[in-house]
A and B are shown apart, each in its own frame.
Chain A
Amino acid sequence: EVQLVESGGGLVKPGGSLRLSCAASGFTFSSYSMNWVRQAPGKGLEWVSSVTSNSNYIYYADSVKGRFTISRDNAKNSLYLQMDSLRAEDTAVYYCARDTGSGWSYYDYWGQGTLVTVSS
């Protein structure tokens, strides 16, 4: 069974940093591109970032480019999102999602999400 479990969310002040993790199991993690997708409270879905299976290609939404860094460790079956210079508008549930293709494709499995709240 495919499982994605996010962790690392919490309350952080504007300008602060947070690192999210996603632990994957039930599939060959190293064969899939992975993504972060977020959802602000009561709002819709927003793609944040993608990384290909071997980390050769990395993509970011303009809204987070230069502030967020996606990475993965295939030996640990884990995906990460380092979030720096956080803003109030980054407040959201962050989902880890498996890609069906080679990056920024469709998302066939999702974690349960981790809530990030940016507030003073």
Chain B
Amino acid sequence: ETVLTQSPATLSLSPGERATLSCRASQSVSSSLAWYQQKPGQAPRLLIYDASNRATGIPARFSGSGSGTDFTLTISSLEPEDFAVYYCQQRSNWPPAFGPGTKVDIK
């Protein structure tokens, strides 16, 4: 079973700042990794798939990178609506799994 670890658990930043979130897999997942955003009381939203491809309608300030076991989600300049919890998810190895999440909150 592939375990995903996300760091940091919480990231406190101000609007306009750059956010860098990390996701590490216990074994290689190739590029089969996605990122989701979840706001309180809402369902998750797909942001990035296959490590670096933005999903439909996702702003260009969101970007993903990495392959193998180390992945990064970058938000180039935080907007007020970006403060949320972010999850990574792998689909390379059975069973599909999510990371524990990184909360991005307002400093």
Interface set of A (CB-CB < 8 Å, partner B): 44-47, 59, 61-62, 95, 100-101, 104-108, 110-113
Contacts and interface: CB of A to CB of B under 8 A. Distances in A.
Contacts of B43: 95, 110-113
Interface string B35-63: 01010001111100100000110000000
B64 interface: no
Interface of B: 34, 36, 38, 42-46, 49, 55-56, 87, 89, 91, 94-101
Contacts of A107: 36, 44, 46, 89
A102 to B, nearest CB: 10
A110 B43 CA distance: 6
A104 B94 contact: yes
Contacts, number: 51
A31 B13 CA distance: 42
Contacts of A111: 43
B68 to A, nearest CB: 18
B100 A44 contact: yes
A104 B91 contact: yes
Nearest to A107: B46
28 contacts: A44-B99, A44-B100, A44-B101, A45-B36, A45-B101, A47-B95, A47-B96, A47-B97, A59-B95, A61-B95, A95-B44, A100-B46, A100-B49, A104-B91, A104-B96, A105-B91, A105-B96, A106-B34, A106-B46, A106-B49, A106-B91, A107-B89, A108-B55, A108-B56, A110-B44, A110-B45, A111-B43, A113-B43
